[in-house]
Amino acid sequence: MNTVKLIEKAKEAGIETLEIYIKKASKESIKIYDQKVDNFTIAQSGGIALRGIYEGKLGYCFLEEDSDENIDFCIRHIKENAKAIESKDMVMIYEGSKSYPIVEVNKEIEKYTSADKIEFLKKVEEKAKEADPRIVQVMETMMETQKSETRIMNSLGLDIVKEEEYAVFYSAVLASENKDNKSAYEIRVIQDLNQFDLDAYIEVLKEKAISKLNAKQVKSGKYPVILKNEVMCALLQSLSGLFSGEAAYKGISRLKDKLNEQIFDEKITIVDDPLKKDGYSTTPFDDEGVASFTKTVVDHGKLMTFLHNQKSAAMMHTTSTGNGFKSGYSSSVGIQPTNFYIEKGNVSFEEMIQKLTCGIIIDEVNGLHAGLNPISTDFSLQASGYLIENGKISRPINLIIVAGNFLDMMKNVQAVGNDPFEELSGIGSPSLLFDSLAISGE
Amino acid sequence: MLEKNQLHELLELCVESGGDHAEIFEEKKYSNAYSLLNGVVENANSGIVYGIGIRIFHGNESVYAYTNDTAMDNLRKLAHDLAASIHEEKKEIQFELKEVEYENAHPVKIDPTGVSSDQKIAIAKKVSDAAMSFDPVIQKVMVNMMDEKQEVAISNTEGRYIRDTRTRVRLMIQAIAMDQDKMETGFYGPGASKGMEFFDEIDLEEAGRHAARIAKTMLYADECPSGTMSVIIDNAFGGVIFHEACGHSLEASAVAKGQSVFCNSLGKHIASSIVSAVDDGTIQNAWGSSNIDDEGNFTKRNVLIENGILKGFMVDTLNGRRMGMPSTSSSRRQSYKYETVSRMTNTFILEGNDELEDMIKDTAYGLYAKNMSGGSVDPSTGDFNFAVSEAYLIENGKIIKPVKGATLIGNGADILMKIDRVGKNLQRAQGMCGASSGSIPTDVGQPAIRVSSMVVGGKE
């Protein structure tokens, strides 16, 4: 689309300030099944999202058909949507930061062709199948490579571009013994295929499936529980809205009045670091063009700041923390954490286990979208893991429910592990030990 | 949209290096969305999703490409590059594209794309006001309203060329009840494959109150006890149990590769004999209905379970090849950005003979789950979970109090056998179902059912 013409026409139509957000991405995904390429996908995608200030209100519109013929459609909808807004919230389009941090994009994966990736995946599948006789099927082995460019420009003169590139792969296996099935998968970001420690990966994948075979329930009751790093990440991810400045000023975050107060155990420190080297959510600026910077959100249990975009910052009389992100190019700008993690402690996973005479490790939870109330932070989740007896893992556990309240639970943390894990979203946490959570089983 | 001769040219390019079947899915979707907080419009967004997806089969495998750059030069290159990933001998494929004409089974009276935002917002406000004024504890009400019109054109190397327009509208109401430090939510999300007439047909104020009532009830509820007990799951969204615990495991994508617990169960008893269930994409104007699936085949009513016996799966063409079964017109996708695969449409348990009151009366100790929120399942094991958004404790045949925070877990194959009562009050409810081909509109449904024993998780 001719952006100069678009800005001109918008001005003529009374749209004072216009922002043009352009996303272009290409993707390749390869799926291997039974040593054959089961699926191969190549894609080019993109879109243009527009925000314009008209009569003091912000109107949105988006397009995937990149043609000058759509200029009138856009202008009409920006105006109509702006007119529909009744909220008295402040609106603004950002003129840009003074300078932007430089973020390195790792492009190692570009060395490899589709054929190299297919070879790699076949090797993964083969090794997974051979890892143990109880692995009866490798259900899917897949790699996805994505490259994207985001450009933000506006009628105030801002014009910035960032590149992102990543490759992830995973393999999913089905293990079976005595008619008991257990599936498991392990997903990893990969940069250099030749440097990747495949044997270590296969060992993790195998253990995830095999160690849970013939799992049974435990008796219902309250138990000391170790929430493994991956589970903590999943909880933190689902509850990251607690730290949203928008949820705070709208009064729908339970932390709304808790700024500068002790909200968690003093063993807990949480950092949002968009500049982390090779972080999964590393970025030089957010979707409003605000330059990224690192901040401590929770300092030894004390809430130091909410995460803000332009609007929530203005509503709470502060400045944006550079956390204004869209969930997709066409969405409105919400608030998202970047590389957001609980800092690691100094207790090893083994030491946590040794502390318990009778307890439970939970290393998998399901149904977070339903079993966790993001507002009250009550959760009641299908889970599996292991029973600990006399400081040792005694057997696997399956089909139990772990229930509690996140905010209450985080006020009393017995130990913080030294085993940080980072999810693909950039959310990270070590394993944590809690003295009592409700478990439902037999 | 592309012309027939352009599609023909692209389809021919697709099969130049050994593919045996090619398909082009072209889509243009207009959408509008409004969000209100406490009756005030906070956001309004409109736009057009547009692009095409190209799929080529070679035996039991497929390759897929999509783009929103539909200039012919780019499309030719994309089709060529995609075809080049198959290294087989070119097959003799001759075809002529012929448009399949048919009568629209889901007529729309008032096209939402032609209705002003003021009119739509007025509807959302009416709903919001009703929820807000339900009770002083209702302190936040979020109403989202969406409408969309998706035009698709599907063509393939069998010579099929067919178009469909899917119009959908939906309200999503979330009420939050607060009292000091307590906060609970209630949700209701009615929708249909209809135009604006849908909002004249439903009781808007009642919809708002419905969400508010759940939030208020839960605010003062005690924590749910945990343990194994009888569970009565009421109608409408209660059907999410069947959707999760059974529906996903009956999709060909899980069955074809032997990854479902029901793989070798066709013709066998997989449920209690009082259970029959269907997936029906033909129900007029239902949320999960359409004239054709995303491979261009006319939708059907597929019987899944009849009197406890497994009668069929939901099959798409490619998985059908692997299974040696014809398509059941069950192939769906969120948009051109997803390769289409077998999915559910409107999936529900059929009516039985029991009254809900009698089920409660005959339960010594258990849970009455009146409203569900959602859940998930692992199709390879059948293990599922779902959350109860409105629940009551039953003791000695009587409902004694509301309880909050309940989650139900179990194994699909196991639970289906334990259904010992099926009610008469069949109703469907709307949801969005997420899987490999994206998030799609589906109806779940059932009459009230009782499961003789199930694991209930709560904080007490």
The pLDDT, as a whole number, for residue B378 is 80
CA B383 – CA A270 distance, rounded (Å): 34
Closest residue in A to B141 (Cα) is A252
- Burial of A178 per CB tally in 10 Å (0-12, 13-18, 19+): exposed
| Distance from the A177 Cα atom to the nearest Cα atom in chain B, whole angstroms | 12
The pLDDT, as a whole number, for residue A375 is 85
- The mean-pLDDT minimum among A88-102, B53-67, B206-220 falls in A88-102
Share of chain A above pLDDT 70, in %: 100
pTM for this entry: 0.88
For residue A88, is pLDDT > 90? no
DSSP string computed for B254-279: HHTTT-STTTT-TTSB-S-TT--EEE
CB A353 within 8 A of CB A317: no
Q: Looking at chain B, which residues constitute the CATH 3.30.2290.10 domain(s)?
A: 4-99, 112-149+166-220
Which of B63, B54, B52 lies closest to B88, judged by CA?
A: B63
CB A169 within 8 A of CB A201: no
The pLDDT, as a whole number, for residue A19 is 96
Using the structure block, give the residue that is written with the tokens 């504890």: B137
Q: A277 CB near a chain B CB, below 8 Å?
A: no
CA distances from B365 to B228, B335, B368 (A): 10, 46, 10
For residue B402, is pLDDT > 80? yes
| Band of residue B131 on the pLDDT scale cut at 50, 70, 90 | very high
CATH level 2 (architecture), domain A3-207 = 2-Layer Sandwich (3.30)
Share of chain B above pLDDT 70, in %: 100
The pLDDT, as a whole number, for residue A90 is 78
Q: How far is CA B194 from the centre of its chain?
A: 16
The pLDDT, as a whole number, for residue B375 is 80
| Distance from the B228 Cα atom to the nearest Cα atom in chain A, whole angstroms | 6
> What are the structure tokens assigned to A197, written together?
């420690």
The pLDDT, as a whole number, for residue B365 is 97
Q: A42 CB near a chain B CB, below 8 Å?
A: yes
> What are the structure tokens assigned to B187, written together?
């949700």
Mean pLDDT of all residues in A324-341: 94
CB A27 within 8 A of CB A40: no
Helix H or strand E encompassing B145:
strand B138-156
Count Cα atoms within 13 angstroms, Cβ side, for A438: 23
CB A332 within 8 A of CB B352: no
Helix H or strand E encompassing B56:
strand B40-58
Count Cα atoms within 13 angstroms, Cβ side, for A203: 4
Query: DSSP letter at B221?
Result: P
Mean of per-residue pLDDT scores for chain B: 95
Fold adopted by B4-99: PmbA/TldD fold (3.30.2290)
For residue B379, is pLDDT > 80? no
For residue B352, is pLDDT > 80? yes
The pLDDT, as a whole number, for residue B79 is 96
The pLDDT, as a whole number, for residue A364 is 94
Query: DSSP letter at B18?
Result: S
**Each residue's pLDDT tens digit, A5-30:** 999 999 999 999 999 999 999 999 99
**Each residue's pLDDT tens digit, A280-328:** 999 999 999 999 999 999 999 999 999 999 999 999 999 999 999 998 8
Mean of per-residue pLDDT scores for chain A: 94
| Distance from the A92 Cα atom to the nearest Cα atom in chain B, whole angstroms | 14
Measure CB to CB from residue B46 to each of A77, A83, A251 and give the nearest one.
Answer: A77
> What are the structure tokens assigned to B306, written together?
């009849």
The pLDDT, as a whole number, for residue A67 is 82
| Distance from the B61 Cα atom to the nearest Cα atom in chain A, whole angstroms | 5
Mean pLDDT of all residues in B259-280: 94
Domain ranges of chain A: 3-207, 215-236+344-440
The pLDDT, as a whole number, for residue B251 is 96
The pLDDT, as a whole number, for residue B96 is 97
Chain-chain contact of B407 with A371 (C-beta, under 8 angstroms): yes
The pLDDT, as a whole number, for residue B289 is 98
CA A289 – CA A272 distance, rounded (Å): 18
| Distance from the A153 Cα atom to the nearest Cα atom in chain B, whole angstroms | 19
Chain-chain contact of B66 with A43 (C-beta, under 8 angstroms): yes
CA distances from B194 to B143, B148, B163 (A): 19, 10, 18
| Band of residue B383 on the pLDDT scale cut at 50, 70, 90 | confident
User: Interior CA angle at A302 toward A299 and A303, to 5°?
Assistant: 95
Interacting residues of B283 by C-beta distance below 8 A, sequence separation 6+: B289, B346, B443
CB A239 within 8 A of CB A377: yes
What residues of chain B, 248 to 287, have a C-beta less than 8 Å from chain A?
257-259, 261
| Band of residue B180 on the pLDDT scale cut at 50, 70, 90 | confident
Q: A115 CB near a chain B CB, below 8 Å?
A: no
Mean pLDDT of all residues in B279-283: 98
| Band of residue A407 on the pLDDT scale cut at 50, 70, 90 | very high
Chain-chain contact of A87 with B257 (C-beta, under 8 angstroms): no
| Band of residue A369 on the pLDDT scale cut at 50, 70, 90 | confident
- Enter the ipTM: 0.84
Which of A180, A408, A149, A430 lies closest to A283, judged by CA?
A: A149
> What are the structure tokens assigned to B385, written together?
């979970």
What residues of chain B, 291 to 330, have a C-beta less than 8 Å from chain A?
none
Mean pLDDT of all residues in B346-354: 98
Q: Please list the helix, strand and coil fractions of chain B in percent, rounded to the nearest 5, in that order.
A: 20, 45, 35
Helix H or strand E encompassing B436:
none
* Residue bearing the bigger pLDDT, A2 or B335: B335
**Each residue's pLDDT tens digit, B12-65:** 999 999 999 999 999 999 999 999 999 999 999 999 999 999 999 999 999 999
The pLDDT, as a whole number, for residue B376 is 81
Mean pLDDT of all residues in B199-216: 97
- Give the per-residue SS3 of chain A: CCHHHHHHHHHHCCEEEEEEEEEEEEEEEEEEECCEEEEEEEEEEEEEEEEEEECCEEEEEEECCCCHHHHHHHHHHHHHHHHHCCCCCCCCCCCCCCCCCCCCCCCHHHHCCHHHHHHHHHHHHHHHHHCCCCEEEEEEEEEEEEEEEEEEEECCCCEEEEEEEEEEEEEEEEEEECCEEEEEEEEEECCCHHHCCHHHHHHHHHHHHHCCCCCECCCCEEEEEEECHHHHHHHHHHCHHHHEHHHHHCCCCCCCCCCCCECCCCCCCEEECCCCCCCCCCCCECCCCCECCCEEEEECCEECCCECCHHHHHHCCCCCCCCEECCCCCCCCEECCCCEEECCCCECHHHHHHCCCEEEEEEEEECHHHHECCCCCEEEEEEEEEEEECCEEEEEEEEEEEEEEHHHHCCCEEEEECCCEECCCCCEECCEEEEEEEEECC
**Each residue's pLDDT tens digit, B297-307:** 999 999 999 99
Is CATH 3.30.2290.10 the classification given to domain B112-149+166-220? Answer: yes
For residue B209, is pLDDT > 80? yes
Measure CB to CB from residue A401 to each of B34, B259, B457 and give the nearest one.
Answer: B457
Chain-chain contact of B226 with A80 (C-beta, under 8 angstroms): no
Mean pLDDT of all residues in A408-428: 96
Mean pLDDT of all residues in B90-115: 96
CB B196 within 8 A of CB B164: no
Q: B119 CB near a chain A CB, below 8 Å?
A: no
CA A149 – CA A284 distance, rounded (Å): 13
For residue B380, is pLDDT > 80? no
Mean pLDDT of all residues in A57-72: 89
- Burial of B3 per CB tally in 10 Å (0-12, 13-18, 19+): exposed
The pLDDT, as a whole number, for residue A87 is 86
Chain-chain contact of B140 with A251 (C-beta, under 8 angstroms): yes
| Band of residue B385 on the pLDDT scale cut at 50, 70, 90 | confident
Q: B237 CB near a chain A CB, below 8 Å?
A: no
Mean pLDDT of all residues in A335-353: 97
CA distances from B403 to B48, B138, B296, B374, B392 (A): 44, 19, 46, 17, 5
For residue B374, is pLDDT > 90? no
Closest residue in B to A256 (Cα) is B181
The pLDDT, as a whole number, for residue A175 is 94
The pLDDT, as a whole number, for residue B381 is 80
DSSP string computed for B58-119: ETTEEEEEEES---HHHHHHHHHHHHTT--SPPP------EEPP---SS--SS-GGGS-HHH
